[in-house]
Amino acid sequence: MSTDARPERAAVRLSARTVVNYAIGSLGTGGYSTLPGLVLTYFLTDNLGVAALAAGIIVTTAKVWDVVIDPLIGAASDRQLARTGSRRGFMVIGAVTLPVFFALTFAVPPSWGPVASAICVLLAFLGTATAFSLFQVPYVALPAELTRSYDERTRLLGWRVVVLTAAILLFGAGGPMLRRATGDPVTGYLLMGIVAGVAIGVGMLIASRTADAAAQAITTEIEPAPGLRTQYLSGFRALRRSLPFRALLGTFLLQALATGTMLAGAQYVATWVLHDEAAVEVLFVALVGPALIATPAWTVIANRIGKERSFLAASILFLIASATITFAVWAPGAWIYASVAVAGIAYAGLQSLPMAMLPDVISHDERTTGPGQAGTFTGIWTAGETIGFALGATAVALMLAATGYVSSVAGASTVQPDAAVAGIVLSFSILPAVLMALSLIPLARYSLRRHDIDELASRSFEE
């Protein structure tokens, strides 16, 4: 087996074209992660008249489906890499099919009734989730195959998060604007679903070209993949054998849950705390504007003090910022935007740093298991991320149900009890703060440092 590819990957700087094409994939990631998390529960409760608890179950069911299929897709992606030399096939299928299912998710009219509407939304969103997983699992596997450099991975993932934060702004603020563009909630949601779905699909399709660059970077022979069942289970074996992977995944899952609760609660905060449905767009500008500036800064900080220390600092900053919003229970007002802006600075680090650490974990494991198993790791990773965001929406739905939130259909006027409004604030503040505090426990067990990764690259060069 040839070994000259690894030092080559360690030394060569990634081309600007590769970095740009890979980063554009976050247009899809940001759109899919942001818009359904922001408006889907609200679409069900305040447009289709679905009870809050039932809405939470619908969102969670689709995400649990992701958790089941993501490791399977990861295993199948590794097999595709071994068979064809590229992961691109699944990525293209996901990019082409997602726009259709995404539009169908928001095409359901209130006239069908809560039960029929809920079933149709569930089926369409299951299709959307499947299409997204076909793209996302191999997409996350690519950085470990594009370069072995500690700093190049930080650079690659840093630019990806710049696009991700811009996409969050685009979809988080632009989606609600599209929803209001027609003056009718029914056609407005449909317009939003079509335009956003196409934009997501285009971003995913462009990023799929990066799979070819990754395939060219891997000049070592990839061993034939084992049976699908064996490889599916290998993802869970990787979780057992790799302490850095368990620590990083545990941290990221809890943080996805924390940010997922804020995302799912934002529209409710805008409507019932700030008393302006359009305020959700200002909330997103407050969150993402600072993040666009902060992402390159987190990359610089990580290069100076290490990714793990920078990740810890971002986590603590987000914890403090979200906790301060609790005071909105007694004194709601525009000051909330300032706390959200500070959380946005931290959020940039929470996105870029763990994604830059994951390829390091994969490379560390390659020393004993060999190359070609990145999809095994990213299948488990994507499942963990998915369930974190899903349970975030579920936590908000449970809080709404417990505090007596009143659902309604489009056009109907409703008054919420004080307990429900307080529940909305708590799901946007103290709940994510507590989850962020819990995430610091597994983060403390993450053991990889820069010298560990540099040593791996050095050993590969010597071989």
Out of 57-66, 288-297, 300-309, 377-386, which region has the weakest mean confidence (pLDDT)? 377-386
pLDDT in tens, 418-428: 888 899 999 99
pLDDT in tens, 56-97: 788 778 777 877 887 788 878 888 887 877 888 899 999 999
Better-predicted residue by pLDDT, 432 or 154: 432
Q: Is residue 91 part of a domain?
A: yes
Q: Is residue 220 part of a domain?
A: no
The pLDDT, as a whole number, for residue 204 is 94
The pLDDT, as a whole number, for residue 213 is 66
Domain count, the chain: 1
Q: Is residue 228 part of a domain?
A: no
CA separation for the pair 235, 448 (Å, rounded): 20
Compute how many other C-beta atoms are within 10 angstroms of the C-beta atom of residue 206: 18
The pLDDT, as a whole number, for residue 336 is 92
CA separation for the pair 328, 324 (Å, rounded): 8
Better-predicted residue by pLDDT, 399 or 12: 399
Section 16-20 average pLDDT: 85
Q: Is residue 4 part of a domain?
A: no
Q: Is residue 8 part of a domain?
A: no
Q: Where do we find the tokens 């819990």?
A: 438
Q: Is residue 1 part of a domain?
A: no
The CATH code of the domain that includes 70 is 1.20.1250.20
CA separation for the pair 69, 163 (Å, rounded): 27
The pLDDT, as a whole number, for residue 265 is 84
The model's confidence at residue 145, banded by pLDDT at 50, 70 and 90, is: confident
The model's confidence at residue 312, banded by pLDDT at 50, 70 and 90, is: very high
Closest CA to 446 of 245, 299, 258: 245
Does residue 408 have a pLDDT over 50?
yes
Residue type, 207: A
DSSP track, 59-102: HHHHHHHHHHHHHHHHHHHHHHHHHHS-SHHHHHHHHHHHHHHH
Residue type, 462: E
Q: Where do we find the tokens 């407005």?
A: 188
The pLDDT, as a whole number, for residue 5 is 40
Radius of gyration of the chain (CA): 21
Q: Is residue 222 part of a domain?
A: no
Q: Is residue 88 part of a domain?
A: yes
Evaluate if pTM is beyond 0.85: no
Share of residues in the chain with pLDDT > 70 (%): 84
Domain with 343 in it: 14-214+233-462
CB crowding 56-83: b at 16 or more within 10 Å, else e: bbbbbebbbbbbebbbbbbbbbbbbbbe
pLDDT in tens, 210-269: 877 665 555 455 555 555 566 556 666 666 777 888 899 899 989 988 988 887 788 888
Closest CA to 8 of 219, 151, 152: 219
CA separation for the pair 429, 262 (Å, rounded): 7
Closest CA to 121 of 50, 192, 66: 50
Closest CA to 361 of 463, 252, 440: 252
Contact status, residue 448 vs residue 361, Cβ threshold 8 Å? yes
